[in-house]
């Protein structure tokens, strides 16, 4: 524009004809052109400012679309349409394809737009081009995400939208997985695990013994330690004080050298009684830490979950007189047990405890020799009674494996949020068992736990003095004390058990936060099956912040929205330049 004015002015300066008045009149032309150029320049500057705002918005929207999985020509079309809508004109165009950097997560756009002149059109300058550029970015670095999902029995109930909570969870979780991995800006930098939980967590039977046991396998082969060991992080030597705790089991190497061997003895008799893949809680405070097992502390190793064969119900017969004075007899039940799967009686000798006394409940429950005789088997119960969840999927980039696992989930069992959380943390930890996560404080790396539950910590009691409860990852009420905080070890009811589990969960969340883990919690609470105040308060406490990291959906729509918001929060969309 200024160059055109200068040309006109030089041409005027070379002219020699005309009167003084003409010269004076014409001398005003360059001045008028300069003033007009200023006006048009201001118009162009205002237009460029508007274009920059539209370009900023386009860059943000395009990055968000890219983070949601839009790519290639579809992303270019999206950016062009957004720019046209933002500027309210089709004249604004993208000067090139939106640039997507999958390493940094940055999306850049450059734009140009012609602006009509008001004054300079008189000298043939009808339009001038203005341009702008902007880059936006999802969170830089890498993401390690543990998706911890409740698969307890209550998940089979319907949500507020009339659909099974389990189906709603599957749809929302898979949408979240697809969003993270299909995004050209997020996918290449994301790893994820899926950790289903109920009363315990199933790590997968691949970490157990490699021995293929059949009915013809000899007991001597089964009981050979080298053939009965699991992964190195298990207590294969049975050195932990929690491997054969009284009154659950009495150690007897003449029968079984460790729990894996005992599982294989059971599997020889019943093919469905091999180890199911679940793991018991380590003793406190190791069960609120991701510290790896160390040889100097045998209790730091993990123990496979094996629910012991409990005694048969204990009862006695008494005589009495009815209202008409007739002598009658009746049976009085003294103790009931939930998980008796083999007979307590039978020809069975053992060194620990000595003798063959089945009238004493402790002896009846703890002696190992009965697992070899297996008389009177009850297949409705099982050594895997507290192992109802599908196996977890370790931290990885294979989206298909994660989606397949979510689709396979079923609903069964009580709720143990603490164990679900801990195994979710272990999947992103740099320490054993898995050691799949990057080191803590790795520059740009985020460790994230997304915990979804529809209930509260639950550990049910039972009407007997020996165990006092159903079996769980902590054992029984009467033998679980070392696995609970010192202030919550005296358990006599399900409410006291819940308080103990809640305290463990809170301490585990605190420990993970102290190492920089970001925690999102989702309380899937529906009208027909709500989470009570104690339960929601626990999830609010565990969340990194209640305002931005805690969600309380009640239907598939709001659950999907919660996962979407978590995805947006993880991406942290912003203008970078």
| Residue among 243, 258, 252 at smallest CA distance from 209 | 258
The DSSP output letter for 455 is S
Question: At the top level of CATH, which class does the domain 142-204+388-462+495-575 belong to?
Answer: alpha beta
pTM: 0.79
Instruction: Tell me the per-residue pLDDT of 422-454, one tens digit each, with 9 for 90 and over.
Output: 999 999 999 999 999 999 999 989 999 999 999
Give 509's DSSP letter.
Answer: H
In three state form, how does the secondary structure of 486-502 look? HHHCCCCCHHHHHHHHH
Helix axes 556-571, 165-182, angle to 10 degrees: 30
State whether residue 310 is helix, strand or coil: coil
Backbone angles phi, psi at 543, to 5 degrees: -60, 145
pLDDT of 222: 87
Sign of CA dihedral 214, 216, 219, 222: negative
Distances (CA, A) of 519 to 54, 444, 452: 35, 17, 11
The answer to whether 36 and 120 are in contact (CB under 8 A) is yes
Interval 131-183: pLDDT, tens: 899 888 777 789 999 999 999 999 999 999 899 999 999 999 999 999 899 88
Burial of 356 per CB tally in 10 Å (0-12, 13-18, 19+): middle
Specify which residues 316 forms β-bridges with.
Answer: 332
Give the pLDDT band of residue 30 (cuts 50, 70, 90): low
Please answer whether residues 229 and 239 qualify as being in contact, where contact means their C-beta atoms are separated by less than 8 angstroms: no
Confidence of residue 123 (pLDDT cuts 50, 70, 90): low
User: Among residues 347, 346, 239, which one has the least CA distance to residue 301?
Assistant: 239
Give the list of residues 6+ apart from residue 439 with CB closer than 8 angstroms, or none: 430
Q: Are 177 and 192 in contact (CB under 8 A)?
A: yes
Residue extents of the structural domains in the chain? 2-137, 142-204+388-462+495-575, 212-275+278-386
Please, what is the angle between helix 2-14 and helix 20-67, to 10°? 170
pLDDT for the residue 125: 64
Give one word for 26, left, alpha or beta, with left for phi > 0 and alpha for psi -120 to 50: alpha
Q: What is the pLDDT of residue 356?
A: 44
**Are 223 and 254 within 8 A, CB to CB?**
no
More confident residue, 33 or 151: 151
pLDDT at 5 over 70: no
Mean pLDDT, residues 263-282? 92
Q: Summarize the confidence of residues 365-386 as an average pLDDT.
A: 82
Q: How far, in Å, CA of 510 to CA of 104, rounded?
A: 31
Surface-to-core class of residue 496, CB atoms within 10 Å of its CB (0-12 exposed, 13-18 middle, 19+ buried): middle
Look up residue 304 and give its DSSP letter: B
Where would I find the H helices in 257-412? 259-269, 361-366, 370-373, 399-408
In order of 193, 254, 276, the CA distances from 224 in angstroms are 34, 11, 20
pLDDT digits (tens, 9 = 90+) for 57-81: 888 888 878 877 788 888 889 999 9
Q: Which residues neighbour 355 within 8 Å (Cβ) at sequence distance 6 or greater?
A: 363
Residue 512 predicted with pLDDT over 70 = yes
Sequence-ordered strand ranges (E) for 159-294: 190-197, 201-202, 278-279
Decide if 278 contacts 297 (C-beta within 8 A).
no
Its sign, for the CA torsion 256, 261, 262, 268, is negative
Range with the poorest average pLDDT among 26-35, 134-143, 339-348, 493-502 = 26-35
d(CA 246, CA 258): 15
Distance CA 541, CA 306 (A): 32
Q: How many residues does the chain have?
A: 577
Mean pLDDT over the full length of the chain: 86
State how far the Cα of 55 lies from the Cα of 63, in Å rounded to an integer. Answer: 12
Backbone angles phi, psi at 210, to 5 degrees: -90, -5
């Amino acid at each position: 524009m200024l160059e055109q004015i200068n040309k006109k002015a030089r041409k005027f300066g070379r002219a020699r004809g005309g009167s003084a008045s003409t010269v004076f009149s014409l001398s005003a032309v360059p001045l008028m052109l300069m003033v007009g150029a200023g006006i048009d320049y201001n118009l162009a500057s205002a237009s460029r400012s508007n274009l920059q705002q539209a370009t900023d918005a386009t860059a943000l929207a395009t990055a968000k679309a890219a983070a949601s999985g839009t790519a290639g020509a579809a992303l270019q079309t999206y950016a062009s349409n957004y720019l046209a809508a933002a500027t309210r004109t089709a004249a604004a165009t993208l000067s090139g394809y939106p640039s997507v950097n999958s390493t940094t997560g940055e999306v850049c756009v450059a734009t140009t737009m012609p602006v009509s002149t008001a004054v300079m059109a008189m000298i043939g300058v009808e339009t001038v081009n203005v341009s702008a550029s902007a880059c936006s970015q999802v969170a830089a670095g890498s993401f390690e995400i543990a998706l911890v999902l409740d698969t307890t029995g209550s998940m089979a109930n319907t949500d507020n939208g009339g659909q099974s909570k389990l189906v709603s969870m599957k749809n929302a979780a898979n949408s979240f997985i697809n969003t993270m991995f299909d995004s050209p800006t997020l996918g290449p930098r994301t790893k994820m695990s899926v950790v289903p939980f109920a009363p315990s967590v199933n790590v997968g039977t691949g970490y157990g013994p490699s021995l293929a046991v059949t009915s013809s396998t000899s007991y001597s082969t089964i009981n050979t330690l080298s053939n009965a060991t699991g992964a190195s992080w298990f207590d294969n030597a049975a050195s932990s004080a929690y491997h054969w705790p009284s009154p659950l089991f009495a150690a007897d190497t003449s029968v079984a050298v460790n729990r894996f061997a005992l599982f294989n003895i059971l599997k020889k008799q019943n093919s469905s009684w091999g180890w199911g893949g679940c793991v018991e809680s380590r003793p406190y405070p190791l069960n609120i830490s991701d510290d790896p097992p160390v040889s100097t502390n045998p209790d730091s190793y993990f123990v496979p979950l094996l629910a012991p064969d409990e005694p048969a119900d204990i009862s006695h017969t008494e005589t009495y007189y009815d209202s008409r004075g007739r002598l009658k007899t009746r049976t009085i039940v003294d103790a009931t047990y939930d998980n008796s799967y083999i007979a307590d009686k039978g020809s069975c000798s053992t060194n620990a405890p000595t003798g063959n006394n089945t009238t004493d409940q402790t002896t009846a429950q703890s002696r190992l020799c009965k697992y070899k005789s297996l008389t009177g088997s009850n297949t409705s119960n099982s050594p895997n009674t507290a192992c109802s969840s599908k196996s977890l999927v370790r931290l990885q980039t294979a989206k298909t494996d994660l989606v397949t696992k979510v689709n396979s989930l079923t609903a069964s069992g009580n709720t143990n949020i603490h164990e679900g959380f801990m195994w979710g943390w272990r999947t992103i930890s740099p320490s054993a068992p898995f050691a799949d996560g990057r080191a803590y404080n790795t520059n740009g790396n985020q460790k994230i736990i997304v915990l979804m539950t529809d209930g509260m910590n639950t550990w049910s009691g039972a009407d007997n003095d020996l165990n006092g409860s159903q079996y769980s990852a902590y054992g029984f009420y009467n033998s679980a004390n070392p696995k609970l905080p010192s202030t919550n070890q005296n358990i006599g009811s399900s409410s006291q058990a819940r308080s103990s589990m809640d305290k463990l969960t809170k301490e585990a969340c605190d420990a993970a936060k102290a190492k920089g883990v970001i925690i999102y919690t989702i309380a899937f609470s529906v009208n027909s099956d709500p989470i009570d105040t104690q339960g929601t308060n626990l999830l609010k406490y565990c969340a990194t912040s209640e305002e931005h990291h805690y969600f309380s959906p009640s239907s598939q729509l709001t659950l999907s929205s919660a996962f979407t918001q978590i995805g947006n929060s993880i991406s942290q969309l912003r203008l970078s330049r």
